[in-house]
Structure 1
Amino acid sequence: MIDPTKNESAAMEAALVPLGEYVSSIGMNRPLADYQKDEVLALIETVVTAYQDNLRQQFPTSEEIPF
């Protein structure tokens, strides 16, 4: 992402806790190269969902969400 907005930066930061919780649940000491395909997909889903959820929370329902 080039030049994230303040809102996008906040959403990325908000994804850190869910990301950490997921990685912790499958083993933090494992290199990413050792993840199975389903684990990588779950990691992506975790991060993208947390990112989008945070952006939705930043904008009242009357405003247009920028995605």
Structure 2
Amino acid sequence: MYYRCYICHKPPRGFCWLDPNRFQSSENRRASFKRFCSKTCQDIHYQLHRKGVDVNRTDLEQKAAESVLAPLADYVMAVGMEKGLGSYSKDEIIGLVDTVLESYHCTLQELYKDEVPF
């Protein structure tokens, strides 16, 4: 099974969270176990959890997806609207991925700047 960071969906790197209130059964324990790619994402989850905010990954995905659309459109226009994705060179694909990831992570930092120091 392949896991992703609960906040930003990068590959996790050893940072985890196990809800101490859900130790009754192994099923609850497994459901409350979350993995993170960094201390930053772990801190975002902890701060929201401490405030009683239900951390819902789909809400974060939606906000991040909306933030990516404008920079992605700018990049595609710079490369050329007439080119299909299959016609992109390796460098253009890497640029596209970098644009999306940078926008995604900057948005997460901006959304949670008051809650977690970056």
Relative to the length of structure 2, the TM-score reads: 0.48
The alignment covers a number of residue pairs equal to 64
- The one-letter code of the counterpart of 2:102 is T
Shift of 1:12: 1.1
Greater CA radius of gyration, 1 or 2? 2
Matched, 1:47 2:100: yes
Between the two structures, name the one with larger relative contact order (CA 8 Å, sep ≥ 6): 1
Q: Which stretches of structure 1, 4 residues or more, deviate above 3 A after TM superposition?
A: none
Larger strand share, 1 or 2 = 2
Larger helix share, 1 or 2 = 1
Shift of 1:60: 2.3
Structure 2, unpaired ranges of 5+: 1-8, 10-55
SS at 2:116 equivalent: coil
- The one-letter code of the counterpart of 1:24 is M
Structure 1, unpaired ranges of 5+: none
Stretch deviating more after TM superposition (13-22 or 54-63)? 54-63
Give the fraction of aligned pairs with identical amino acids, expressed as a percent. 33
